[in-house]
């Protein structure tokens, strides 16, 4: 573990130093995040502007969901997109050979090698929204602490989905369109799952687990979640992470190295 932490520190120190050579990108990323957030708030406002509410969800409660969704966007931009999108390039250029030869697990290397600070604005805005809505709802520090576990499960679930999709590049090489499809489906998490018709709720809970990404952590934070949903989030996170590890090893059986 200590060796992996040392490697992780070296990875991220180098990555941040390289990214900071283009500091104007941070301003552009912040403006993009503000634009996306404004669009999300406007879309949510359209539902609530005439007194309509999602069943069981006040305006501030819905803001909690949006804040968690924004946090996940920041996590994706900071860690997932910069790393997992490069799997395609490694396969195309044959540089995956060098990754597999390193004395470290290839999944760890591919998942953590790069850290982008351009997702930081979304992380900040997500925390601000959650803090603002939580203050209006009178949430105490205990509620925020309780939500740490389901939030961690959300991060693991999101990572596992991304990594499994990235692993399919071994067969299909170019998967950018599929990545955009997944990103589009995950956009449904910006609103409480109750906002969708029954058929969509089933799909976004048991097929593409969007509900476990945002709605379940929000319900735990609000003190309204049943224990079975929290337990389900933990089981789902562990299961998907295990599957992603197995699927990567399975995919590597079909990888033809650049030297062969």
pLDDT in tens, 112-156: 988 888 888 899 999 999 999 999 999 999 999 999 999 999 999
Q: Is the pTM of this model over 0.85?
A: yes
CA-closest candidate to residue 233, choices 168, 174, 148:
148
Give the Cα separation of 219 and 70 in Å (integer). Answer: 16
Instruction: Evaluate whether 54 touches 195 at the Cβ level (below 8 Å).
Output: yes
Q: CA-to-CA distance for 10 and 26, rounded, in angstroms? A: 22
Q: Rounded to an integer, what distance in angstroms lies between the CA atom of residue 194 and that of residue 224?
A: 14
Neighbours of 109 (CB within 10 A): 16
Most confident of 51-60, 73-82, 148-157, 179-188: 148-157
**Length of the chain (residues):** 260
**How would residue 258 be classed by pLDDT, with cut points 50, 70 and 90?**
low
Band of residue 247 on the pLDDT scale cut at 50, 70, 90: very high
Range with the poorest average pLDDT among 33-47, 193-207, 221-235, 244-258: 33-47
- pLDDT above 70 covers a percentage of the chain that reads 94
pLDDT score, position 170: 85
- Report the distance separating Cα 209 and Cα 200, nearest Å: 11
Q: Would you state the pLDDT for residue 178?
A: 63
């Amino acid at each position: 573990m200590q060796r992996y932490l040392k490697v992780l520190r070296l990875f991220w120190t180098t990555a941040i130093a390289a990214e900071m050579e283009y500091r104007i990108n941070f301003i552009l990323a912040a403006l993009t995040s503000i634009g996306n957030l404004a669009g999300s708030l406007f879309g949510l406002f359209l539902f609530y502007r005439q007194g309509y509410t999602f069943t069981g969800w006040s305006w501030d409660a819905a803001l909690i969901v949006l804040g968690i969704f924004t946090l996940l966007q920041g996590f994706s931009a900071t860690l997932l997109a910069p790393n997992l999108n490069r799997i395609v390039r490694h396969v195309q250029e044959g540089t995956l050979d060098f990754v597999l030869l390193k004395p470290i697990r290839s999944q760890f290397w591919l998942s953590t090698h790069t850290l982008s600070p351009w997702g930081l604005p979304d992380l900040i805005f997500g925390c601000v929204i959650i803090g603002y809505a939580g203050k209006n709802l009178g949430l105490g520090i205990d509620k925020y602490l309780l939500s740490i576990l389901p939030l961690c499960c959300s991060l693991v679930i999101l990572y596992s989905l991304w990594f499994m999709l990235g692993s399919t590049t071994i067969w299909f090489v170019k998967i950018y369109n599929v990545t955009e499809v997944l990103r589009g489906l995950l956009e449904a998490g910006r609103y409480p799952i109750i906002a969708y018709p029954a058929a969509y709720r089933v799909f976004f809970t048991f097929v593409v687990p969007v509900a476990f990404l945002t709605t379940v952590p929000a319900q735990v934070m609000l003190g309204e979640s049943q224990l079975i949903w929290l337990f389900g989030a933990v089981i789902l996170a562990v299961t998907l992470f295990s599957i992603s590890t197995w699927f990567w090893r399975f995919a590597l059986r079909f990888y033809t190295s650049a030297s062969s």
